[in-house]
Amino acid sequence: MNTISIISFIIATGSVAVFTYLIVSKMKKSDSATEEYFTGGRALAWPIVAGSLLLTNLSTEQLVGLNGDVFGDKALVGVAWEALAAFAMIATALLFLPTYLASGFTTTPAFLEKRFDKMTRSMVSGLFLFGYVTVLLPVVLYTGSLALITMFNLDISIWVIAAAIGVLGSSYAIFGGLKSVAVSDTLNGAGLLVGGLAIPILALISLGGGSFFDGISILGNNNPEYLKVLTQNNLDGKPVTVPWPTLLTGMMFIQIFYWSTNQVIVQRAMAAKSLAEGQKGVLFASAMKLVGPIMLCLPGIIALHMPDLIIDKQDQVYGAVVRHVLPDWSLGLFAAVLMGSILSSFNSALNSASTLFSLQFYKGYINKNANDSEIVATGRKFGIALALASIIIAPLLSQLDSIFQYLQKVNGIYSVPIIAIFLLGILTKHIPAIGAKIGMAVGFISYAYFVFFPIENFHWLHMYFISFTWSIMVMLLIGYLKPKTEEEIRESDKRDPAPVDMTPWVKAKEASLAIVGATVAIYLFLSWASL
């Protein structure tokens, strides 16, 4: 990076911090310190909810990992991660969010305490924390560090880059709370949307020898099989990362886990100032997910048509494309945009982890009489410890071939039991707490077994579905043999007054149908283009 790039990077990154402070200082504050710190005082309008949702999800593990997988697959099957996400977000807006907001839950596991018992909530909170510590936070730091190093030819240890990102990202989450996280996410999201879309456009222009339309023509005419979205094997006869049958098994459920139950994600929607604002934010973000493949998949496909790119492993593809198409003067600005996406995912996960620990374990077990200031202080201390652990773990992931596949596979160990219990908790009333605990144990153990002792030629998403099904069946069986009493059901149905206006958005169903139609249209078009 030259001097101009460095200066532009500093200015752009600093501007986000300044504007975040100014916007947050003018927002309505809650009388409760815990509400203010962990849910932003429930004052977020739908654009902030949407922006935070998008950028919390969209980070370097997506840009680096998914483009790398598409490049390795030689097919656009990775589009499924974005397309089915849109479906899951519709479920969040119409089913899950009204349930969470109805009693003013601060965390998604809090719903499970009301539905089952305190121990069930603690078990799920523990599983979430396990996932954040072992998977999400280290992956964000590693992929972010790798992207910055490969894009800008930095001669700096990955440990140093990871530490710098960790310190900067944690400052938003630890000292600013959810409002700072959400506002900075939205500001960075605007920059990432512009910068992220610019990369495939510039890449197509480069591919077409200076003509965007010639680049499009090359994509459509030279090996159109690269555009396949529904296949099991690529041109080389090798299995792709997302074979089409998995769309009918584990793919949909892993998406529902992430978008409908994951504290990191749902916390943004739960901070909305009304149900309508939350639904608007979630559904707008859902529509934007359909634009995601342009940034997350297309550069990987374009790279297949650029034999001159130097790529040692597939996770280096995105960085190589960026370095190839961007002029030197713009590298600093794009680095700032990329840094914003990294910080967003990191600080969001850190804030959610702090929320779970301080409200569930510290307040629930360690210091039951803790006041608001003590709870917030504990959350900050836990966030610092978690950030340090992530910085240490992140560089160790460099031994992996595909970081995105690692992320999704390991996620299943804790997401299978979580999605099963949330779905039955919302859709049924008769399953007792013991059924929830045993069902979670079955899901956890069975999927872990499949991970460590995989079945040959059997995709891990099918394993995900099988483990999920076993977990569901066990819970339903226990619910049939020993159901809750009518008194227990009435007790679990009791709700505190909702903290926000619960009037739904009048256009929610129409917007959902439009998103479904657009998703189907994208698949039909790409299937036609790949012929």
* pLDDT, tens digit (0-9, with 9 covering 90-100), for 160-198: 888 888 887 676 555 555 566 666 667 777 777 788 888
Whether residue 412 lies inside any domain: the answer is yes
Average pLDDT over residues 115-143: 84
Could you tell me which residues come within 8 angstroms of residue 159 by beta carbon, excluding any fewer than 6 positions away? 391, 395
Instruction: Between 273 and 506, name the one with better pLDDT.
Output: 506
Q: What is the CATH number of the domain that holds 321?
A: 1.20.1730.10
C-alpha distances out from residue 260 to 87, 94, 256, Å: 11, 10, 5
Q: Is residue 515 part of a domain?
A: no
CA dihedral angle for residue 58, residue 348, residue 194, residue 90, rounded to 10 degrees: 60
pLDDT tens-digit profile of 221-252? Answer: 888 889 999 998 888 888 898 999 999 888 88
- At residue 5, the pLDDT reads 66
Per-residue pLDDT at 383 exceeds 60: yes
Residue 10 lies in a domain: no
- C-alpha 59/C-alpha 24 separation (Å) is 23
Q: How many domains does the chain have?
A: 1
Q: Do the domain assignments include residue 526?
A: no
Closest Cα to residue 115, out of 479, 470, 443? 479
> Would you say residue 337 lies in a domain?
yes
CA distances from 361 to 115, 218, 355, 374, 375 (A): 18, 56, 10, 13, 10
pLDDT computed for residue 250 by the predictor: 85
Average of per-residue pLDDT across 98-121: 83
Q: Are 343 and 351 in contact (CB under 8 A)?
A: no
pLDDT band at 21 (very low <50, low <70, confident <90, very high): low
- Please give the residue range of the domain that contains residue 54: 16-504
Domain-embedded: residue 381: yes
Query: Residue 28: what pLDDT?
Result: 56
Q: State which H helix or E strand residue 311 sits in.
A: none
Q: Which two tokens stand for residue 380?
A: 């900050």
Closest CA to 161 of 174, 177, 176, 150: 150
* pLDDT for res 298: 93
Range of weakest confidence among 87-91, 317-321, 368-372, 440-444: 368-372
Q: Is the pLDDT of residue 408 over 90?
A: no
What is the chain's mean pLDDT, rounded? 82
Model pLDDT, residue 348: 72
Query: Contact, 179 vs 43, CB < 8 A?
Result: yes
Q: In DSSP terms, which residues pair with 501 in a beta bridge?
A: 274
Mean pLDDT of 87-105: 87
- The larger pLDDT score, comparing residue 354 to residue 475, is at 475
pLDDT at 342 over 70: yes
pLDDT reported for residue 472: 94
37 vs 267, residue with greater confidence: 267
What is the four-CA torsion angle of 258, 261, 265, 266, rounded to 10 degrees?
150
Quick one: pLDDT band at residue 151, thresholds 50, 70, 90?
low
Burial (CB < 10 A; 0-12, 13-18, 19+), residue 171, is middle
What's residue 42's pLDDT?
66
AA identity, residue 509: K
Q: pLDDT value at position 45?
A: 83
Residue 228 falls inside a structural domain: yes
pLDDT bin (cut points 50, 70, 90) of residue 405 is low
Distances in Å between the Cα of 105 and the Cα atoms of 78, 370, 377, 454 are 34, 18, 21, 38
Is residue 352 domain-resident?
Answer: yes
